[in-house]
């Protein structure tokens, strides 16, 4: 995969004002510099409607990466951009960040490694696309389970998973009245016996 980080430039870290990352990003870009603003996406529940909304947040609040030419970098013009507090350095000398490190952060952002959304969890294979797939992975056929939901009448009963239905419910065989009887449960009502 080709990254959008120019390896022919030296990269530096710029500190911005509080919540000024976007304005600094635009200002630095208009000044003619290569700039990279790492972000992450998170799902936030809307307070009133209770729906989930995906929002972008800075991965490193108040910090941006700026690419400077290898010969004659211009820090004076960079420091004068809107919302820029300064360039990180020691004793007034800016410290370079390796191009490889900036590129690794860029690729990780593209691969959704920093994101906390359902789409990112599916992409990283931490979660499956449907409730049925999640339940089937969690409770394979033949696995021993316990009913852990105290509100369920079969609470504290043990059983064996028979199958996962189309609706994503787990059908387990529970011993009732001396014989094995199939009963459907939500996946959250069961716990693995192993």
Overall size of the chain counted in residues:
194
More confident residue, 76 or 177: 76
pTM of the model: 0.67
**Domains defined along the chain, listed by start:** 9-123 (3.30.70.940), 131-192 (2.30.30.30)
7-46 confidence digits (pLDDT tens): 889 999 999 999 999 999 999 999 999 999 999 999 998 8
State the Cα angle at 53 between 49 and 56, rounded to 5°. 145
Give whole-number Cα distances, 107 to 36, 82, 141, 192, in Å: 12, 28, 38, 37
Q: Which residues pair with 21 in a beta bridge?
A: none
110-125 confidence digits (pLDDT tens): 999 999 888 888 888 7
């Amino acid at each position: 995969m080709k990254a959008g980080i120019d390896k022919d430039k030296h990269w530096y870290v710029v500190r911005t004002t509080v919540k000024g990352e976007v304005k600094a990003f635009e200002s630095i870009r208009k000044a003619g510099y290569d700039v990279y603003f790492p972000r992450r996406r998170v799902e936030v529940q809307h307070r009133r409607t209770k729906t989930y909304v995906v929002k972008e947040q800075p991965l490193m609040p108040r910090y941006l990466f700026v690419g400077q030419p290898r010969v004659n970098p211009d820090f004076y013009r960079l420091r004068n951009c809107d919302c820029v507090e300064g360039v990180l350095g020691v004793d007034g000398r800016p410290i370079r960040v390796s191009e490889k490190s900036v590129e690794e952060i860029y690729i990780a952002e593209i691969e959704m490694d920093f994101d906390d959304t359902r789409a990112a969890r599916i992409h990283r294979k931490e979660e499956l696309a449907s409730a049925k797939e999640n339940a089937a992975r969690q409770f394979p056929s033949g696995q021993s389970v316990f009913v852990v939901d105290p509100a369920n009448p079969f609470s504290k009963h043990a059983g064996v998973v028979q199958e996962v239905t189309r609706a994503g419910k787990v059908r387990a065989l529970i011993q009732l009245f001396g014989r094995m009887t199939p009963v459907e449960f939500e996946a959250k009502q069961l716990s693995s016996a192993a």
